[in-house]
Amino acid sequence: MIARVLLPLPSDQTFDFLVPLELEKTIAVGKRVRIRFQELERWGIVADLAQKSDHSGPLEPVVEVIAAPTFTPGALTFCADIARHYLSPLGPVVNRMLPHRTSGWSDRFFALAKGLQEIVSHLESLSRRARRQARVLRFLLAETGPCSEADMRQQLGSVRQVLDRLMEQGWVRQVEPPGPTSSGAQRERPACVDQLAERIPDEGESLLFARRRWDVYVRLIETTLTVSKNVLVLAPEILIASQLHGVLRDEFGGGVDLYHSSLSEGERGDVWERARNGKACVIAGTRSALFLPITELGLVILDEEQDWSYKQEEMLPYYHARTVARKRLEQGLLVLGSSAPSLEAFHEAQRGRLALVRPEEPESECTTRVVDMGKEGGILSESLVEAIDRTVNREKQVLVGVNRRGYFQAVLCKACGRPVRCPNCGVNVTYHVQRNVLVCRVCGKTHELMRCSNCGARALRFVGEGSERVEHELRERFPGVRVVRIDTDTRQTYLSNGVGQDADILVATPILAKGPPLPSLGLVAAVGVDALLAIPNFRSAERTYQYLTGLIGRLEVGDALIQTRYPDHYAVVAASKGDYDQFVEQELQERQELYYPPFSHLARLLLTSRSAAKRRKDLTQLEADLHRFDVEVLGPVRHPFRRGCETLLVKGPDFEVVRTACAAVREQQSSLEIDLDPFWI
């Protein structure tokens, strides 16, 4: 038997390997295998099995077959379709999507095995001689149904031996994992739920344009589960996905899984297998969860659909979750949820390509002010300092939003004027003030020699306000006040320990500028907004409006304050009034004049070569080939992060025209990277 294997190489080609007799019963299409390729051991995915090989020479044998996790045929075909759609090589795509292993540990569920009175009377003596057993029993007493060992471990630490002992003594019993069930709470059913729910059995897509959406999601999930369909709920950030998972677990109990890149390989493998076996009824996660082999999928929700994190920018394939979700649902409902929709989605709704659900909502009880920082000095305006003082004295929380983490927003070289970048990955570094070093937030490399990565000069300039700098300033201005910073560096601590819930002031990057209102807040403030407006991208105004709207949306009742040197900018003015229609009208007019999305489709072409002469020759040929199609070509320009890389921007009237042009030139230059519908250009 011959196994045709896809390796993590930039190619669609499969490579043939001989399957030893002892592995013939275990190998199958979609499984991960270990092989030797070019004298190195590698892992790959079995794409096909055959009896004969076209290869003339001897074949290397398959060394090992991993039993799980594994692709279903449908999931493997779906990955191939997405790779083909985005003109990406299939090998890296399928190898990246499938987790490498399962944990080998299955979650157990437990319930009390004796009556309430007997357990309560036993607790007093148990608390003196076996405190850990008493804690577990109290935990189970507080639950309304079976509880998972994973939940108990998260709250109480390691409990496996304790549970085994309690089972031996007959106080608890192991039960089957419960499926998702409604909490039974009688709540008011939002009027828009019926409007959306009637579309669930059929193929459809809706834009839910509303500030309060999570209760709508819960009711939609209930409706979907009643027709025996499964649900996928996506969030743009791990923090929001984890919060959504918690809400859904509270509502539906067991059967709700969480999937994102920060989970261990084993944990992701466990969820993958649960989805493949039809045991995952409701899954909350980030964009990568779209590739889970979920069976009978009836509802997909993209919350905060406008968020740029739904676009994969770091590696191939450069996909957008919105497009992948549309392809993922064979039959069912796709709901795009947002309080400030992307212009592409809203424009499609205006043209009738998806249903717009925009329920009437009560007037906001928030007062928003814009502070002109051209008339102020320092990081915090006097208006903001006074507002923070009043809010803290009223024992309400303050949320200060900062666009970027780190101490400063950028580190520039005084000699050449360029940002200092990491030589490893080309991303701008940030300054770590406590250690007095430059740190790359992508690869984690620390650069103790504070020199310019471009010219080697030691004269550096630090500009802008990062979250660490704002945190430091607030601690100095408000001694004795509890200040907590929440960004990607501190996110895991915030999630696992609840850090920040008792804080007076929260300093947060955009990861906290999303989600439903927080009742504890009395003031939100936006600091460093101008850095968003200054981003050299046609989406800068849109992203500024969406960021400010999301930040102000965390406030239920209270004051919002925006610090900017551009108080008359239409994105700032519209956000301060909560007037989406005013913003869209002006922004769409500018987009149409400049022929940018949603009035065109874009592609970014990345050409890399160590030889400048070869790169110029290839670019000349590339431009000539592109001009044979109905597209506009801009550039080339040097890639801001990657050395020896030039980029071209292609504009076309619709997606298929742009994709066809890019596919044609990729056939001529196979090393070309193509980013269709890029978020940043």
In-domain check, residue 681: no
Residue 222 is encoded by which pair of tokens?
């209930």
The residue range of the domain holding 18 is: 2-97
* 326, part of any domain: yes
More confident residue, 452 or 118: 118
Q: What is the mean pLDDT of residues 196-202?
A: 62
Q: Closest Cα partner for 288 from 266, 270, 309? A: 309
At 490, the pLDDT band (50, 70, 90 cuts) reads low
**CB distance 372 to 239 below 8 Å:** no
Instruction: Give how far Cα 617 sits from Cα of 127, 612, 614, 628, 638, Å.
Output: 79, 9, 5, 18, 15
Q: Are residues 538 and 493 in the same domain?
A: yes
**Same domain flag for 44 and 90:** yes
From 276-280, 457-461, 631-635, the region with the lowest mean pLDDT: 457-461
The count of structural domains within the chain is 5
- What pLDDT shows up at residue 421? 72
**Inside any domain, residue 252:** yes
C-alpha span between 370 and 366 (Å, rounded): 13
**131: which residues sit within 8 A by CB, 6+ positions away?**
none
Give one DSSP letter per residue of 166-196, joined into a string: HHHHTSEEEEPPPPP----------HHHHHH
Residue 14, in any domain of the structure: yes
Query: Which of 564, 590, 616 represents a domain boundary (last residue)?
Result: 590
What's the length of the chain?
A: 681
Last residue of a domain, one of 97, 120, 149: 97
> CA 512, CA 507: separation in Å to the nearest integer?
9
CA angle 580, 513, 371 (to 5 degrees): 70
Q: What is residue 427's predicted lDDT score, i.e. its pLDDT?
A: 59
Same domain, 218 and 316: yes
Contact 508, 525 (CB under 8 A): no
Q: Give the contacts of 247 (CB within 8 A, at least 6 positions apart).
A: 214, 218
473 located within any domain: yes
CA distance 657 to 675: 14
Same domain (yes/no): 621, 480: no
- Residues 496 and 370 occupy one common structural domain: yes
Q: What is the mean pLDDT of residues 256-260?
A: 92
How big is the chain by its Cα radius of gyration, in Å? Answer: 27
Instruction: Write down which residue in 537, 559, 590 finishes a domain.
Output: 590
pLDDT, the chain, mean: 86
CA dihedral 572, 578, 584, 587 (to 10 degrees): 0
Tokens 């550096």, located at residue: 460
Q: Whole-angstrom Cα distance, residue 636 to residue 577?
A: 40
Whether the pLDDT of residue 203 is over 70: the answer is no
SS3 at position 57: coil
pLDDT above 70 (res 406): no
Residues 349 and 377 in one domain: no
What CATH number does residue 43 fall under? Answer: 3.40.1440.60
What span, in angstroms and rounded, lies between the C-alpha atoms of 619 and 612? 10
Residues 511-554 pLDDT 10s: 888 888 888 999 999 998 888 887 778 898 999 999 999 999 99
Q: Do 217 and 347 share a structural domain?
A: yes
CATH code for position 387: 3.40.50.300
344 and 208 in one domain?
yes
Burial 583-592 (b: 16+ CB within 10 A, else e): bbeebbeebe
> Tens digit of pLDDT for each residue in 142-186?
877 788 887 788 678 888 899 999 999 999 999 887 766 655 445
Per DSSP, the residues of 78-125 read: HHHHHHHHTT--HHHHHHHHS-S---S----EEEE-S-HHHHHHHHHH
CB 597 within 8 A of CB 344: yes
Binned at pLDDT 50, 70 and 90, residue 609 comes out as confident
Instruction: Give the model's confidence band at 496: pLDDT under 50 very low, under 70 low, under 90 confident, else very high.
Output: very low
> In this predicted structure, what is the pLDDT of residue 485?
87
Tell me how far apart the alpha carbons of residues 631 and 605 are, in angstroms, rounded to a whole number. Answer: 13
CA angle, 77 then 78 then 81, to 5°: 90
Mean pLDDT over 116-120 rounds to 85
Quick one: tokens of 578? 């909560």
- Other C-beta atoms within 10 Å of 514: how many? 25
Do 283 and 275 meet the contact criterion of CB atoms below 8 Å apart? yes
pLDDT digits (tens, 9 = 90+) for 436-459: 777 775 566 777 667 777 777 877
- Judge if 121 and 59 occupy the same domain: no
The better pLDDT of the pair 657, 645 is held by 657
Structure confidence at residue 361 (pLDDT)? 82
Whether the predicted pLDDT of 492 surpasses 60: no
When comparing pLDDT for 564 and 453, which is higher?
Answer: 564
Q: Is the pTM of this model over 0.75?
A: yes
Tell me, yes or no, whether 333 and 264 share the same domain: yes
* In-domain check, residue 377: yes
Contacts of 563 (CB under 8 A, 6+ apart): 371, 373, 376, 381, 384, 525, 526, 527, 528, 529
Residue 637 resides in a domain: yes
The Cα 320–Cα 310 span in angstroms is 6
> Same domain for 396 and 468?
yes
Q: Integer distance in angstroms from the first to the last C-alpha of the chain?
A: 47
Q: Inform me whether the pLDDT recorded for 658 exceeds 80.
A: yes
Residue 644: pLDDT band (50, 70, 90) is: confident
Q: Which CA distances in Å does 675 have to 459, 542, 594, 635?
A: 36, 21, 20, 15
Residue 657 in any domain: the answer is yes
The b/e string for 648-677 (b: 16+ C-beta within 10 A; e otherwise) is bbbbbeebebbbebbeebbeeeeebbbbbb
**Strand pairing report for 282-285 and 230-234:** parallel
500 plus 607 within the same structural domain: no
Average pLDDT for 314-343: 92
Tens of pLDDT, residues 457-474? 877 766 667 788 888 889
